[in-house]
Amino acid sequence: MKINGTIEHPRWYDIKCNCNHDSVETEYPIADCKHCKFQEAEDSLPKKDYTIQAPILDDEGNQTGTKKQLVNEITIVRGSKYEDIIGWYQ
């Protein structure tokens, strides 16, 4: 899998986790923790190629069927303030 838009050390890496691990109620996602939120987004990126069912469209844009399509490259969309991952596309 090729991932475009990676950064070696995004700004959010320097934000410390502020979760209190004594109780589940004081941990992310119940408690607000930017570090854990950003880490969860980074961990959710696909690491391996995968296959999707892509629509086959006619000239008018109507779906006529599906085909298998290999996804082997994605591009990360990042937030500007913390350089966190807010999404990705192929």
pLDDT score at 56: 96
Closest by Cα among 76, 86, 90 to 7: 76
pLDDT score at 87: 96
Task: Please compute the mean of the pLDDT values over residues 37-54 and round it to a whole number.
Answer: 96
Cα 45 vs. chain centroid, distance in angstroms?
4
Whole-model pTM? Answer: 0.82
pLDDT score at 47: 94
